[in-house]
């Protein structure tokens, strides 16, 4: 199973052209949804206005230093998700992020370059597709049932769903249903495979269509925000928050020490 290109097997009943058109439409939806989200939230305007403010008030950041800060941002903030203090959340995020990249990139390569059984491509591509989907499931289910703040800290039911959960829920559903569909197709269960193929396409379409309303577009904002943060720290325009007051309140001060729950 982990060595079979599921899209090459699918080409026996679905034309590779249809698969390629579907993937291309999803790419366009992501691009268009991200632009729509930027226009609605005016995030790009805020970013560039803030960028001009930082440049005008702080010391100049030369080209080589800006490139060095960009490399640090890519190596630390993006590649290792260093902004997460909670290690469990960080690991779950990395599993989901790298799993998503493997899942999407290998899907595009297999659909466009190796779409038929006669040209199914190297085995490692299919293996990486399965590994990426499994990483999404591990990171996603771990986050959903054990790490979410409203579940872990607030005691809400793990099946409670709000709009902020749309990206994670549709991503995990897409990966899960994709794995089930590929397994059923490989096992020769044609009717069940067709049913789960339909569910897989619905979940995947929701994932990419819902970009303006989900947190999908955050993956594009976060690297830019992290780089801007490093620029502000380097030129001295970023203000640090005051240190927390750890000393207990004295008698008569009118303040009470915090309770420990």
Of 7-11, 131-135, 187-191, 252-256, which gets the smallest average pLDDT? 252-256
pLDDT of 49 reads 67
Write down the CATH number for the domain with range 6-44+71-230. 1.20.950
Q: How confident is the model at residue 41 (pLDDT cuts 50, 70, 90)?
A: low
Percent of the chain with pLDDT over 70: 76
pLDDT of 99 reads 96
Domain range annotation of the chain: 6-44+71-230
Closest CA to 239 of 78, 54, 71, 48: 54
Of 21-25, 50-54, 77-81, 98-102, which gets the smallest average pLDDT? 50-54
Is residue 27 within a helix (H) or strand (E), and if so which, with residue range? Answer: helix 16-41
* Average pLDDT of every residue of the chain: 81
Q: How confident is the model at residue 81 (pLDDT cuts 50, 70, 90)?
A: confident
Neighbours of 152 (CB within 10 A): 16
Phi, psi of 165, deg, nearest 5: -90, 0
pLDDT of 192 reads 96
Q: Rounded to whole angstroms, what are the CA distances from 86 to 76, 81, 91, 151?
A: 15, 11, 9, 15
Kindly tell me if the per-residue pLDDT of 243 is higher than 50: no
Give 94-114 pLDDT, tens digit per residue: 999 999 999 999 999 999 999
């Amino acid at each position: 199973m982990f060595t079979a290109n599921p899209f090459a097997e699918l080409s026996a009943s679905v034309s590779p052209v249809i698969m390629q058109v579907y993937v291309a439409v999803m790419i366009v939806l992501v691009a268009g949804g991200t632009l729509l989200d930027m226009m609605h939230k005016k995030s790009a305007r805020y970013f560039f206005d803030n960028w001009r403010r930082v440049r005008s008030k702080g010391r100049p950041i030369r080209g080589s230093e800006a490139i060095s800060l960009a490399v640090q941002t890519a190596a630390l903030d993006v590649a290792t998700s260093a902004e997460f203090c909670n290690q469990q959340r960080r690991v779950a995020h990395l599993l989901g992020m790298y799993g998503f990249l493997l899942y999407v990139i290998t899907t595009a390569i297999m659909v466009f370059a190796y779409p038929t059984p006669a040209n199914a491509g190297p085995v490692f591509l299919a293996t990486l597709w399965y590994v990426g989907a499994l990483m999404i499931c591990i990171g996603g289910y771990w986050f959903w049932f054990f790490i979410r703040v409203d579940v872990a800290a607030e005691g809400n039911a793990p099946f409670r769903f709000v709009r902020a959960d749309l990206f994670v829920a549709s991503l995990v559903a897409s990966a899960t249903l994709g794995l089930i569909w590929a397994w059923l197709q490989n096992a020769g269960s044609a009717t069940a495979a067709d049913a789960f193929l339909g569910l897989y396409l619905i979940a995947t379409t929701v994932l990419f269509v819902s970009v303006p309303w989900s947190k999908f577009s955050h993956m594009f904002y976060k690297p830019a925000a992290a780089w801007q943060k490093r620029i502000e720290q380097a030129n001295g325009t970023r203000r640090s928050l005051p240190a927390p007051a750890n000393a207990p309140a004295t008698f008569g001060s009118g303040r009470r020490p915090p309770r420990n729950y």
